[in-house]
């Protein structure tokens, strides 16, 4: 039976259904294509508290991530990284590029992976360090599972990046793993650097 033979009321319902499906597919593909940008909540459905939290996150992210912000303690780095990475649905490898005074030059997501892994290429990290004239970096990535424990691959990656960056006199100060709302794990604090 073709759509022409269907009653008008049914076609209207089907049209709305098709529009809804197109909207949902567009939302999902936009999120998949750009996992770093988060779905913005609809202001009409947000409570006053939700709007306040969203504004506070925006301000904190801007202040902590702006060039010149000083990352002088693991707590400051943790707070910033939780804002940036805790809600990501896929693994994102993030680098904070610092000058010789540990002031932020740039904070950038360099690699985006799947639900449980990200391919990280040391040459790209090195290239970006040279472009920004960075003296030190803080590495970070998230575990969408919520478990902030380092895997063997995480330890190996940290070691290889540390060795590769040492060749161009860039110090790896720390590597954080963000696991949702849990406290981010610091390699330096655990003695894994």
12-62 pLDDT, tens per residue?
A: 444 444 444 444 443 433 333 344 444 455 667 778 777 777 777 667 666
Q: φ, ψ for residue 113 (rounded to 5)?
A: -120, -140
What is the structure's pLDDT at 50?
Answer: 73
Question: The tokens of 107 are what?
Answer: 């904070």
Q: What is the CATH number of the domain that holds 77?
A: 3.40.140.10
Phi (first) and psi of residue 141, to 5 degrees: -155, 165
Q: Torsions phi, psi of 139, nearest 5?
A: -95, 150
Could you tell me the CA-to-CA distances from 35 to 31, 86, 124, 145, 164 in Å, in that order?
5, 13, 20, 16, 28
Higher pLDDT, 13 or 153: 153
Rounded Cα gap, residues 59 and 114, in angstroms: 29
DSSP 94: E
What is the per-residue pLDDT for 146? 86
Q: Per the structure, how many domains does the chain have?
A: 2
Residue 100 sits in the same domain as residue 151: yes
Q: What average pLDDT score do residues 90-118 get?
A: 89
Instruction: Look at 38-42, 61-65, 82-86, 111-115 and tell me which has the smallest mean pLDDT.
Output: 38-42
Task: Report which listed range, 27-36, 148-157, 178-187, is most confident.
Answer: 148-157
Helices (H), 45-107: 48-65, 74-85
Residue 151 lies in a domain: yes
Task: Name the pLDDT band for 102 (thresholds 50, 70, 90).
Answer: confident
Residue 2 counted as domain residue:
no
DSSP label at residue 39: P
Share of the chain above pLDDT 70, in %: 71
Q: Does residue 180 share a domain with residue 146?
A: yes
Q: What is the mean pLDDT of the chain?
A: 77
Residues 56 and 24 in one domain: no
Residues 162 and 72 in one domain: yes
Rounded-to-5 percentages of helix, strand, coil across the chain: 45, 20, 40
Range of the domain at 26: 7-33
* Average pLDDT estimate for 110-125: 90
């Amino acid at each position: 039976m073709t759509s022409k033979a269907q009653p008008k009321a049914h076609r209207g319902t089907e049209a709305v259904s098709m529009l809804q499906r197109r909207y949902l597919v567009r939302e999902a593909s936009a999120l998949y294509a750009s996992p770093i940008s988060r779905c913005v909540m609809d202001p009409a459905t947000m409570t006053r508290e939700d709007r306040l939290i969203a504004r506070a996150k925006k301000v904190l992210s801007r202040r902590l991530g702006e060039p010149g912000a000083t990352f002088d303690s693991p707590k400051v780095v943790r707070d910033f990284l939780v804002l940036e990475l805790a809600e990501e649905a896929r693994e994102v490898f993030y680098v904070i590029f610092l000058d010789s005074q540990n002031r932020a030059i740039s904070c950038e997501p360099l690699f985006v992976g799947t639900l449980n892994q990200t391919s990280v290429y040391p040459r790209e990290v090195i290239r970006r360090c040279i472009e920004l004239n960075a003296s030190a970096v803080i590495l970070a990535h998230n575990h969408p599972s919520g478990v902030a424990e380092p895997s063997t691959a995480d330890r190996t990656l940290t070691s290889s990046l540390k060795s590769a960056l040492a060749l161009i006199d860039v110090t790896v100060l720390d590597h954080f793993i963000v696991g949702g709302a849990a406290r981010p794990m610091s390699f330096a604090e655990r003695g894994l650097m």
